[in-house]
Chains A and B, each alone.
Chain A
Amino acid sequence: MADEFDPAAFMAAAGGFGHAALIGARYAAHGTDWAELAMDADPRLADGDGNPAFGPIATLLDMAAGTAVWVRAGRFRPHATLDLRVDRLRPARPGRTIVARGTCRDIADPLAFVGGLAHDGDPDDPIALVAGTFMMTERW
């Protein structure tokens, strides 16, 4: 397994840009085929019921899953999300840091298959589950 891709360094840069910056996405942890990103509670990101809005959670899940692809591959290659399914099990509790874990299950050029979850403190009590595919926009 190549290990040239550094998700902490990547998020240090990507976390300061665009929607990732708006929601405060940051690196949390990673393994050989998974990556965890986190965002702290922010009342500006609440939905109409006062709970953490879905858009930022979907963004964190998408980014964690995408980062997991590069972690498994050991290198960065541009890709686009082809599809993404999110099951919202329950609202995240206000005030909690939200963690999204993406796992890359397989890479079959030009596709990568991912799964994962989001939680607000206990990985065994997730707030959301995710499954999706990414498509490389450049050749491996």
Chain B
Amino acid sequence: MSALSPYAAAIGLTVEPGAAGPTLRLPFSEPLLGRPGFLHGGMIAGLLESAAIAQLRHALGETEARIELVTITVDYLRAGHPVETRAAARAIRIGGRIANLTAQAWQDDPDTPIATARINLRIHRDAGKG
């Protein structure tokens, strides 16, 4: 399933395909703020989770598997300013049932991320087989 979720649509998230995997693009809007002038940290955690799921879906190259978050650990490195934010993830290991990824979110420069995360996802490969 490549369609964005209702929540992703509600926050204005779009997906930019790339050879190594997708990059998520989140234009700034007021409903993303935690306090005046700064993006909400919980929202950023959700963005990183979405980036990991999108990357795993890209890596699996199939549409049947259902993917679920198991655990995420986010480090907040810099303030999220009211500008476009991007996020992408990299798979460290993809097993039969679990995938381990890292994800990062950045604004102006991918080399100075505003947040990074370690994310473990559950893969249900029998999804869709009844």
Query: A residues bordering B, Cβ < 8 Å?
Result: 14, 17-22, 43-49, 53-56, 58-63, 78, 80-88, 91
Contact = CB atoms under 8 A, between A and B. Distances in A.
Contacts of B53: 48
Nearest to B6: A46
Interface of B: 1, 3-8, 10-11, 30-36, 40-43, 45-47, 49-50, 53, 66, 68-76, 79
Contacts of B74: 81, 83-85
Contacts of B50: 55
B71 A48 contact: no
Contact of A22 (B8, B31, B45, B68): B31
A53 B5 contact: yes
B7 A86 contact: no
Contacts of A55: 7, 11, 42-43, 45-47, 49-50
Given A55-B46, A86-B45, 6 more contacts: A17-B33, A20-B34, A44-B6, A45-B10, A48-B4, A80-B79
Contacts of A59: 40, 42-43, 45-46
A58 B72 CA distance: 10
Nearest to A83: B75
Contacts of A18: 30-35, 40
B46 A86 contact: no
B7 A53 contact: yes
Given A47-B7, A59-B40, A85 B32 contact: no
Nearest to A61: B42
Contacts of A91: 68
A119 B70 CA distance: 16
Contacts of A48: 1, 3-5, 53
Given A55-B46, A55-B47, A86 B76 contact: no
A19 B6 contact: no
Q: Please name the 7 residue pairs, one residue from A and one from B, whose CB atoms are nearest each other, closest first.
A: A55-B46, A59-B42, A18-B33, A53-B7, A62-B42, A19-B40, A58-B45
